[in-house]
Structure 1
Amino acid sequence: MAHAGERWPIGDQPARGASLRSDRGQADRDDQEGRLGARRPLAGTWDRGRRRAGRSGAGSSERDEVILAAVLRVHLLYLWQHRRVLHLRRPRRFSEWVQHRKLFDRDPRLPLLTDKVAVKALVASALGDDWVIPTLWHGRVLPARPPAPLPLVIKARHGCGQIAFARTPAEWDAARAQASGWSQTRYGRWLDEWAYAGVTPGLLVERYLGDGDTLPVDYKLFVFGGRVAFVQVHLHRATAHRWIVMDRDWVRASPPTHDPDPSRPATLDRMIAGAERLARDHVFLRIDCYEVDGRPLFGEATVYPGSGLLPVVPASLDRQMGSLWRQAREELGF
């Protein structure tokens, strides 16, 4: 369930007619700066990539080609999705820092965090077994019969957005067919999400946490430099999926909509403390949690939210998160 909505925007949809003039003005200035300096970020990034890959020894030209292809791909995808030039040499927005991480951050801790089976041991060690949703089964091919009583959740261990719910035998059969291709492919290559490359492809099965067709609220905590700054609240994920961003003090950070502010979860303080413990010494992580039967549960850790290719609403929130990312890097000595 932690994957539902993974590829949705960071903020929520602005109310119809809501004024975002100040954001648009800043966005126009940013876009103008990007157009004027469009060649410089790519050139600077490519030069650094060449130095990292090395210019001597067998295979250097092949490495250069791989680096250049990745840089071009990231720039073009960002331009296509956001309709603005990517500032890769000096990222200013959250969405730009995600692109920077994809190309340059090779922190060896990241693959473990993206492995949805292996990360549970890390969470249990840091926070305790009661935070972890038990894995009932994992492997490459789902068995013909459910490994535990229905209802169940089926996920890919090596990707995101790959999830199926089995509440009945017919849904289990459908999930087997749907998941059959998940474990046959490597996730993240086409979006240059390096951390997924080393995760063993496979599937896992967990107990279903919902009530009938209703899924639990998904709380996605954005942690910069070990401190939670925002919580993205995902509502009605199975029917009318929408989301609202609150700050850590539970003040709305995204634009007004027809939805009232979501209720503050009773376990928010525990969620924040747990997320900050897991993300300690990291520049940025997103820690997803649920509140079930009065206690917090860990869902997943995300290192590339939305691959940085989806809009952050309002634009000022994108810049605010980008500033927090930069500050975290400076504080951690990057």
Structure 2
Amino acid sequence: MRAPPPCSRLPGLGDGVLARARPIADPDARTARAQVLSHYRRKLGRWPDLDEALRFTELVQRRKLYDHDPRHPQLMDKVAAKALAAEALGREWTIPTLWQGRLLGAEMPFACPAILKARHGCNQNRILRTPPGAAEWAALRQLTCGWVAEPYGQAVAEWGYLHTPRGLLAEPLIGNGVTPPVDYKIYVFGGVATHVQVHLGRGGGNHRWVLHDRSYTPLVDVEDRPPPPRSLGAMLQAAEVLGAGYDFLRIDFYEVDGQPLFGEYCLYPGSGFDRFAEDWIDLELGRLWHAAGEVPVRD
């Protein structure tokens, strides 16, 4: 594993690893704030306090509205993010890209089994275990045109996605080729990995997650007890390399046959609308974010 390159070597970044931008003047800022307040109230049953912002979920809203770091769009770009991870960790940490482009053509440009994703969004993907027929391919072309037609994240003010190049990429389907592999999402505050969130049942009707501390002890008593990945130590170390220089990032990984693989960066977990198992967890993660010393502030 190599040390992360200086920002001057990364395209699109400012001078110095903590280079930040002032919030960009946005004529729709009032609308974005109203959207955030409304969504938060509907999802979590309370109004967010965006001034004190003691909770993690409130700090996510503050980041969306006021933290327009010029590095953020690059992190949200799945193509650029993979290149950043490969540069910092080594190419063996990344999943190969079978194809990337703006739109799908008449002919399928990659082999199956594969997963097709939007490079600029979240939860926009389709698993292709076998080559689709003509009608299925036509429907997929139409679906992905819709993905590319609009920037992702507008409705919930996720600024980083709004400035990410739109397009598609395909990757080989890792794991057993039938179900998606377990997703290990590591919370990193100020360059220190503190929590491991394990997602189970993705792609089915029973998607759930368990949040652990760094030592892989669940924060609350739960029925699901997923075993730790064999490469947990390497994942924690890699997450800290990738998260260095940021107040908070979540870094996602998979494991295949004991080999850890980079998944993606996340700036806005659950868009800040996911309810934690206990309210103290929301407050504790908020405390860690504040302690990291780079809490996004209002201009």
TM-score relative to the length of structure 1: 0.77
The structure that has the greater radius of gyration is 1
Residues 1:243 and 2:209 aligned together: yes
- 1:113-192 aligned at under 5 Å gives the runs 113-170=75-132, 173=137, 174-192=139-157
For 1:39, the equivalent position in structure 2 comes to: none
Of 269, 274, 281 in structure 1, the residue corresponding to residue 238 of structure 2 is 274
1 CA distance for matches of 2:278 and 2:162?
32
Identity across matched positions, percent: 45
| Contact 2:253 2:261 (8 Å CA) reproduced | yes
For 2:10, the equivalent position in structure 1 comes to: none
For 2:197, the equivalent position in structure 1 comes to: 232
For 1:320, the equivalent position in structure 2 comes to: 284
| Contact 2:54 2:286 (8 Å CA) reproduced | yes
For 1:6, the equivalent position in structure 2 comes to: none
Report Cα offsets for 1:4-57 as digits up to 9, x if no partner: xxxxxxxxxxxxxxxxxxxxxxxxxxxxxxxxxxxxxxxxxxxxxxx9789xxx
The CA deviation at 1:312 is 1.6
The CA deviation at 1:274 is 0.5
Report Cα offsets for 1:204-227 as digits up to 9, x if no partner: 000001314222110011111111
Report Cα offsets for 1:67-97 as digits up to 9, x if no partner: 2222222222211211112110110111000
For 1:252, the equivalent position in structure 2 comes to: 218
Give the secondary structure class of the aligned counterpart of 1:180: helix
2 CA distance for matches of 1:183 and 1:147?
18
Matched residue type, 2:173: Y
Change (3 A) 1:72 1:291: same
* Structure 2: gaps (5+ residues): 1-21
Greater relative contact order (Cα < 8 A, sep 6+): 1
Aligned length: 273
2 CA distance for matches of 1:319 and 1:268?
25
1 CA distance for matches of 2:202 and 2:294?
36
Change (3 A) 1:221 1:52: closer
Change (3 A) 1:127 1:52: closer
Residues 1:102 and 2:64 aligned together: yes
The CA deviation at 1:143 is 3.1
2 CA distance for matches of 1:231 and 1:295?
17
2 CA distance for matches of 1:332 and 1:101?
6
* Cα-Cα RMSD: 2.3
Residues 1:75 and 2:28 aligned together: no
As a proportion of its length, which structure holds more helix? 1
| Contact 1:255 1:314 (8 Å CA) reproduced | no
TM-score relative to the length of structure 2: 0.85
1 CA distance for matches of 2:49 and 2:277?
19
Matched residue type, 1:217: V
